[in-house]
Amino acid sequence: MIKGFVPRLYQETILATATIKNTLVVLPTGLGKTNIFLMLAAHRLKLYPESKILLIGPTRPLIDQYHEVFRKHFEIAEEKMAVMTGMIQPEKRIELWKKSTVIFSTPQGLENDLLAGKLDFENVALLGFDEAHRAVKEYSYVWIAKNYMKTARFPRILALTASPGSDMEKITEVCKNLFIEDIEVRTESDPDVQQYVQEVDIDWIKVDLPPEFIEIKKLLEASFRSKLEVVKNAGFLHSTTGASKKELLLLQATLRSELAGDYKNFPLLKAISSLAEAMKVGHALELLETQGITSLYKYYERLQEDAKAAKTKAVKRLFSDNTFLTALEKTRQLYEKNVEHPKLDELKRIISENIAAVKGAKAIVFNQYRDSALKLQDELNKVEGVRARIFVGQMKKGETGLSQKQQKELLGRFSAGEFNAIIATSIGEEGLDIPKVDLVVFYEPVPSAIRQIQRRGRTGRQEKGKVIILVARDTRDEAFRWVAHHREKSMHRILKTLKSKLKLTPLGQREIKNFE
């Protein structure tokens, strides 16, 4: 049933586990996770010839990609394979489901069809979840897995990811939600993987914030502290320094649940509003430190629009804070002078030296904000020999966006060499097959093991690759660098621990035992 590729040793070893247990496969990007699913699909169809195979992925470009792998390497009639998305009418989806053996689907439409009773999993012998780290909280993967394990006559789950997360709670949740019985992990340094991994050089390039930035930074920090001081004085916070964005969000959620509709509890209301102000100032600080003046000024403009529309009291109050207003005015002056973050000149130099000067070379620049990405596209296109395009997710209100069809077309044009640089937001991190990229640039470090691994995996697939990470000294960039590093180390320790403690109970209910 398989054609056109020879399985690698580690793929065969992982397959041996996956044939007998629901398995989570954690494998670096570019090392053939889909091929493992394809091999397991052949095995399951041999065992159950009249069954169906289903592989789910979060986006249309990804499931188109799986379809292409099967067309190339799986001996099955074209009409026996189907791609199902929310863009296809429900009646057509049911028709495709009935006549197809191998199905590739996005999760939301599938979940709706299952809830409506229009299809069922009884005859599905293998269910694959790509980007399996998404299987948390209310994401469709969770309900789909539960429904599958309840209704399939011969269930088998294969979950695929480059990184399932970096803390015990998150990884455990993924494993429980997908009924995982075993974990197969490989890193670039494992003996059976090493020969297939190209060397990737990683450089950290540091820049200093100019004095004008530091001046604005001090103003925003003072404004931020003043908001948190209100929360501290109300008895809800111990200190105005050191609290992370995540901690402040958790505190805000806690205070809102305490409020529980008691809108006469004025100290609590004030604390909640001050926290909202603090987080807006904190975001402004992050944009200044990691992105630059254009992103910060665009953010200010959106806040001003919200204040005029009286959307929230927190935003209106922010514009009566003189310290914040002074920071805004200084930002406006720099914006009008076209002053930008020193990272931008570094990026232009890096792209010029590594891409513009090298025939056929290609780069991906990762940047997590659309305003910044647009600015980078404009600036890189001013560099001789550089043809840059922005690669973003679907359009949100008032923002630049690409439909999934446009995303696929853009990647095809990039592969064909129509342009040599892509500026990608987080959409470019997940799984998309970008075959040859010589250079990956992080415009900012990200405090996430998942995102760091995914970004890094965009290069070094077929030839030696290079990763450059831009860092602004004495900013959250430096903190994020080490957070991601430690989280990645933590992920591997946790996976090793969980693998040894996964058990199958006598009742056949898959769960994780004694993982604390």
Q: pTM of the prediction?
A: 0.75
Six-digit token string for 266: 């004025």
pLDDT reported for residue 396? 61
Count of alpha carbons within 13 Å of 417, Cβ hemisphere only? 7
The answer to whether the Cα torsion of 341, 317, 269, 228 is positive or negative is: positive
Domains of the chain from N-terminus onward: 9-194+493-512 (3.40.50.300), 200-208+341-474 (3.40.50.300), 211-336 (1.20.1320.20)
Q: What is the pLDDT of residue 427?
A: 66
Q: Give per-residue pLDDT as tens, 215-247.
A: 999 999 999 999 999 888 888 887 777 777 888
Half-sphere exposure of 11 (CA within 13 A, CB side): 16
Question: What is the per-residue pLDDT for 398?
Answer: 55
Given this model, what pLDDT does residue 168 score? Answer: 85
SS3 content of the chain, % helix, strand, coil (to 5): 50, 15, 35
Tell me the sheet residues that pair with 104: 55, 83
Rounded to whole angstroms, the Cα distance separating 363 from 371 reads 20
Question: Which tokens go with 118?
Answer: 């229009």
CA dist 285 and 221 (Å) reads: 7
Q: Angle CA(118)–CA(120)–CA(121) in degrees, nearest 5?
A: 160
The sign one gets for the Cα dihedral 171, 172, 173, 177 is positive
| Residues 497/314, Cβ–Cβ less than 8 Å | no
Which of the 8 DSSP states describes residue 355?
I
- Give strand pairing partners of 105: 56, 84
- List the pLDDT tens digit at each of the 516 positions of the chain: 888 889 999 999 999 999 999 999 998 877 889 999 999 999 999 999 999 999 999 988 888 889 999 999 999 999 999 999 888 998 999 999 999 999 999 999 999 999 999 999 999 999 999 999 999 999 999 999 999 999 999 999 999 998 887 788 888 899 999 999 999 998 877 888 878 776 678 889 999 999 999 999 999 999 999 999 988 888 888 777 777 788 888 888 888 888 776 667 777 888 888 898 999 999 999 999 999 999 999 999 999 888 888 767 778 888 899 999 999 999 999 999 999 999 999 999 999 998 888 888 889 999 988 889 999 999 999 999 999 999 887 766 556 678 778 887 888 898 888 999 999 887 655 556 665 788 889 999 886 666 666 666 555 445 567 889 999 999 989 888 888 777 778 887 888 888 777 754 433 344 444 433
Neighbouring C-beta atoms of residue 399, cutoff 10 Å = 12
Residue 412 CB burial class (10 angstroms; 0-12, 13-18, ≥19): exposed
Is 115 buried (19+), middle (13-18) or exposed (0-12) by CB count in 10 A? exposed
Output the CA torsion sign for 425, 429, 430, 433.
Answer: positive
Question: Which residues neighbour 301 within 8 Å (Cβ) at sequence distance 6 or greater?
Answer: none
Which residue intervals of 309-426 are DSSP H helices? 313-318, 322-336, 342-351, 370-380, 404-415
- pLDDT at position 292 is 93
Q: What is the dihedral of CA 183, 186, 187, 188, to 10 degrees?
A: -170
